[in-house]
């Protein structure tokens, strides 16, 4: 059973998500909150698998709440999906940098929301939707010169793998592109997590853009 906490200042939005997710046999909503401070309290009490976190909330916004969740060692098993009504919201990029596993637009199809919860609960970042890369491109590119320092400890092969992760490829696709076994591709990605101090693939994508391995509009 996948446990979920809903954090949104709009009662109707929370009710909609509760009804949607509660109808699934493998998902249980274990708590709700209307602001960031309350969300942190619920998350620390329930330790859910997934938090659906609205970005714009009173008391404490979703960005700061996300930072606190991802920085807490006791919540290492909790993953955050940020919610927004805007495709290009600077707070969303900040949340990805803070360790969010991905984001959803509130007007996405119900089946996409359910799928997103399952994907993130399974340990993957929500990178398949093109929207995540669009946000990263908008805010990681053109803001400052590329910082290549994080790449210094990487082998040439690891840089190749990071580039492909940044382009949104999964492990199987990386293995196919580089003519590797799936296990070898997975091992390379695991080493990237360790060397770069990344929490998940979403942060690897951000790093790929910020270091210049992936350039906006280039695939």
Where are the CATH 3.40.50.2300 domain residues in the chain?
A: 2-139
2-139, what's its fold?
Answer: Rossmann fold (3.40.50)
In sequence order, the β-bridge partners of residue 31 are 5
pLDDT computed for residue 108 by the predictor: 81
pTM above 0.75, yes or no: no
Query: What class is the 146-210 domain?
Result: mainly alpha
| 10-residue averages of pLDDT along the chain (219 residues) | 96 94 96 95 96 90 90 91 71 73 81 89 64 60 72 94 88 93 94 88 82 70
Where are the CATH 1.10.10.10 domain residues in the chain?
A: 146-210
**3-state SS track over the chain:** CEEEEEECCCHHHHHHHHHHHHCCCCEEEEEEECCHHHHHHHHHHHCCCEEEEECCCCCCCHHHHHHHHHHCHHHCCCEEEEEECCCCCHHHHHHHHHCCCEEEECCCCHHHHHHHHHHHHCCCCECCCHHHHHHHHHHHCCCCCCCCHHHCCCCHHHHHHHHHHHCCCCHHHHHHHHCCCHHHHHHHHHHHHHHHCCCCHHHHHHHHHHCCCCCCCCC
pLDDT computed for residue 33 by the predictor: 96
């Amino acid at each position: 059973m996948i446990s979920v906490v809903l954090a949104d200042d709009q009662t109707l939005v929370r009710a909609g998500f509760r009804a949607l997710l509660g109808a699934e046999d493998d998902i249980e909503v274990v708590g709700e909150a209307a602001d960031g401070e309350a969300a942190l309290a619920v998350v620390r009490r329930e330790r859910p698998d997934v938090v659906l976190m609205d970005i714009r909330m009173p008391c404490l916004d979703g960005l700061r709440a996300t930072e606190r969740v991802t920085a807490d060692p006791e919540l290492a098993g909790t993953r955050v999906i940020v919610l927004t009504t805007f495709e290009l919201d600077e707070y969303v990029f900040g949340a990805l940098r803070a360790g969010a596993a991905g984001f959803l637009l509130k007007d996405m199809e119900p089946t996409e929301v359910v799928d997103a919860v399952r994907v993130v609960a399974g340990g993957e970042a929500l990178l398949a939707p093109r929207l995540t890369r669009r946000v990263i491109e908008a805010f990681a590119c053109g803001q400052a010169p590329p910082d290549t320092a994080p790449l210094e400890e990487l082998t040439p092969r690891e840089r190749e793998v990071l580039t492909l992760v940044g382009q949104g490829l999964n492990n199987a696709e990386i293995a196919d592109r580089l003519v590797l076994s799936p296990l070898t591709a997975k091992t390379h990605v695991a080493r990237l997590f360790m060397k770069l101090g990344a929490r998940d693939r979403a942060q690897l994508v951000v790093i790929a853009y910020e270091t210049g391995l992936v350039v906006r509009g280039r695939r």
